[in-house]
Structure 1
Amino acid sequence: MLVIAHRGASGYRPEHTAAAYRLAAVQGADYLEPDLVATLDGILVCRHENELSGTTDVADHPVFADRRLTKVVDGTAVTGWFVEDFTYAELRTLRTRERMPALRAANTAYDGLEEIPTFDDVVALARAESARLGRLIGVLPEIKHPAYFRRLGLPLEELLTERIIALGLRPDEIMIQSFEPASLRRLSVMTGVPLVQLIGTGFVERRGLREISTYAQVLAPHKDLVVPRLADGRLGEPTRLVDEAHRAGLNVQAWTFRAERRFLPTATDFSTELTRFATLGLQAVFTDQPDQAAVVRDATLGVLETGA
C-alpha cells in the first residue's frame, strides 16, 4: 500500500510548500501530491485552488489590492485574488501560510517563509530526495478546475503534458489525477502515464467502473465510499467498491486520512482507522501525516507476510 503525501506533509507544515514536500519524503511517502493551477503566463504552480488569500499573504500586498475580484469558479462565486491574474514573477513575491491555523497552530510558525513552488520545483525535489534516500519518490499531481482554466486559454492538460515531456518524466515517476473525466480522457491520448479518476460522492456501478477503466488505471474514491460512517460517526461495514474496482482492472487509492480528532470516526484513532482500510486491498492512501501512515502500512504488511 503506497503512501501519498496529500499536499505534502500538510499535517506538519503549510500545504504545498517545499518544506511540506521534503518532510513527506523523509517521513516515508511514496508519492508527493501537488495540486496544479496556472499563472497568467502559463506556469503550473502548486495551490489547492486558484484563489490565493487562504494560503498566502496576498492580502498584505497593497500593490495587488485592485486585483481582488469575485469570480464564478465551477459554479461557485468566490471572492479574492486568483492565480490566473498574476504572472509567475508577481506570484513569487507572495509567501505561503497555513490554511487551517486554528486546527494546526504549530504550522503557523512557518508562515511567511516560503514561495509558492512550481510543478517543476516539486519534480526536482522528488528526484533529489529519491537520490538522497535511495528509493523512488514519485509525484501525483491533480489538475484543478481544468474546464475553467481551458476557457481562459490556459489548458492544464496541455501545459502539464509539455512539462512531462520537457522533464523526461517516466511512467513510474508520475501519475495524474482529476475529478473531471473529460480531462483524463484528453490526457489518455496525450501522455503515457497512469491516470487516476477521483470520485467524491455517489455510488459507482460496475458499468461505470468499466467505463473508467477505458481511460484510467486507478480509481480514487473518498474514503467514506469504501467504509461508510454510520449516523453516530462510527465506521460501518466496507462496501464492495474496492473489489468491484479491482474486477474492472482498476487499482484503488482512498482519500484523505488525517490524524486530527475532528477528521476521525467516533471512538477511533488514526492508526485504527487506517488499519481497517489497509486490510481491504487498497493500493494507496492519501494522508496529511505520511509518517503515521507509513507505520500502519509497514505494520499491516508485516502481518500479511507472516499470516499473524
Structure 2
Amino acid sequence: MTGFFPVDFTLRELKTLRVNQRYEYRDPQYNGMFSIITFDEYIQIALDAPRVVGIYPEIKNPVFVNQRVKWPGGNKFEDVFVETLIKHGYKGTYLSKQWMKQPAFIQSFAPTSLTYVSKLTDLPKIFLIDDTTVPTQDTNQSYWEITSDKYLQYISEYVVGIGPWKETIIPVAKKYLQTPTDLVARAHAHKLQVHPYTFRNEYPYLRFNFSQDPYKEYAFWINEVGVDGLFTDFPESLHHYQQWTSPSQ
C-alpha cells in the first residue's frame, strides 16, 4: 500500500485534523467542529456516562500497524491496546460482575491477532468476517475456510462469537433478501454468538423486504434469524426498538 496513514504521524499532528461526515447523504452540520479522539478519550466518554455504557473497540489492521511501527520493549500493537484497556479497568471475564460494570468486546478481522490477545486478557473477543471475496488480513484464508465447521470449532477456543457482514448470512439480489445460509445455526452449534454488521437506516441499505422500515429489519434479524447482537450506525433507532418491544428489560 502507498500513501500516508495515521501511523505515519505523531498524535500532535493528527490532532490538527478536523473530522467530517464521510457520507454526503448524512447530516454535515458537525463538519470541522471536532478533532480525532484517542482511544483513551473514547473510553473516557463511556466511563463518564451516567449509566453503564459498553465499548466495542476494533484492533484495526494489526498486521499493517506492526509492520510500520516499532513499539518500545519489543511490544506489539495488541500489547499497547490491551494495556490501555487494563489501565481503565477493563479486565473482567465475560459476564462477571466486573465485566457487567464495564462491558467490552474486542473485535478484529485478524484471527492471529485475536489468538495473541487471548493470552493477554479474558475480555470477550469477536472474530470479524468480511465479504466472501476478501481473505483474512493475516492468514490469507478464504471466507469458506474460516466459516467451515472445523475453523469455527478452532476459533471458538479464543473468541465468544463472530461478526460477519450481514449479506454473507443472507445474500441479496435486486435489493431483496434471498435464501439464508446456515452460518448462524452452525456458529450457535459451536457456542459462538453472531453479531452481523452494519445496520443502517438509509434507503440504499434497507432491503425491500422491510418496506424501508429499520424496525422491521431489526425484528427480522433478532427474532427470525436469531442473531445475538448487531452493529449499527444508528444505535438510537435500535435502542428505541428495544424500548418498544421489551420495555421491561
- Indicate conservation of the 8 Å contact 1:219/1:252, yes or no: yes
Query: Which amino acid is the alignment partner of residue 120 of structure 1?
Result: D
Q: How far 1:209 sits from its partner (Å)? A: 1.1
Match of 1:277 among 202, 209, 221: 221
Distance 1:208 1:266 in 2: 34
Equivalent residue for 1:34?
none
Query: Which amino acid is the alignment partner of residue 179 of structure 1?
Result: F
Match of 2:10 among 78, 87, 91: 87
More strand by share: 1
- Residues 26-175 of structure 1 correspond to what in structure 2 (within 5 A)? 72=1, 78-79=2-3, 81-100=4-23, 102-104=24-26, 106=27, 108-129=28-49, 132=50, 134=51, 136-152=52-68, 153-154=70-71, 155-171=76-92, 172=99, 173-175=103-105
SS of aligned partner of 2:195:
strand
Query: Which amino acid is the alignment partner of residue 53 of structure 2?
Result: I
SS of aligned partner of 1:220:
strand
Q: What are the superposed Cα offsets for residues 194-232 of structure 1, whole Å, 9 maximum, x if unpaired?
A: 111000133412212111101111111111122221x22
Q: Does 1:247 align with 2:189?
A: yes
TM (norm. structure 2) is 0.81
Equivalent residue for 1:262?
204
Q: How far 1:281 sits from its partner (Å)? A: 2.3
SS of aligned partner of 1:255:
coil
Distance 1:178 1:240 in 2: 22
- Indicate conservation of the 8 Å contact 2:177/2:209, yes or no: no
- Between the aligned residues of both structures, percent identity stands at 32
Q: Does 1:234 align with 2:176?
A: yes
Q: How far 1:239 sits from its partner (Å)? A: 2.2
TM (norm. structure 1) is 0.67
Cα distance change of structure 1 residues 300 and 211 upon mapping to structure 2, 3 Å threshold: farther
Distance 2:91 2:193 in 1: 19
Query: Which amino acid is the alignment partner of residue 239 of structure 1?
Result: T
- Indicate conservation of the 8 Å contact 1:94/1:115, yes or no: yes
Cα distance change of structure 1 residues 192 and 267 upon mapping to structure 2, 3 Å threshold: closer
Q: Does 1:213 align with 2:133?
A: no
Q: What are the superposed Cα offsets for residues 37-67 of structure 1, whole Å, 9 maximum, x if unpaired?
A: xxxxxxxxxxxxxxxxxxxxxxxxxxxxxxx
Distance 1:92 1:232 in 2: 43
Distance 2:83 2:174 in 1: 48
**Aligned-pair RMSD on alpha carbons?**
2.0
Query: Which amino acid is the alignment partner of residue 25 of structure 2?
Result: L
SS of aligned partner of 1:109:
coil
Equivalent residue for 1:222?
165
Q: How far 1:299 sits from its partner (Å)? A: 4.1
Count of equivalent residues: 219
Q: How far 1:149 sits from its partner (Å)? A: 0.8
Distance 2:244 2:179 in 1: 22
Cα distance change of structure 1 residues 232 and 94 upon mapping to structure 2, 3 Å threshold: closer
- Indicate conservation of the 8 Å contact 1:218/1:252, yes or no: yes
Q: Which runs of 5+ in 1 are unaligned?
A: 1-71, 73-77
Cα distance change of structure 1 residues 248 and 300 upon mapping to structure 2, 3 Å threshold: farther
Distance 1:238 1:294 in 2: 26
Query: Which amino acid is the alignment partner of residue 109 of structure 2?
Result: F
Q: Which runs of 5+ in 2 are unaligned?
A: 93-98, 133-142
- Residues 13-24 of structure 1 correspond to what in structure 2 (within 5 A)? none
Query: Which amino acid is the alignment partner of residue 17 of structure 2?
Result: L
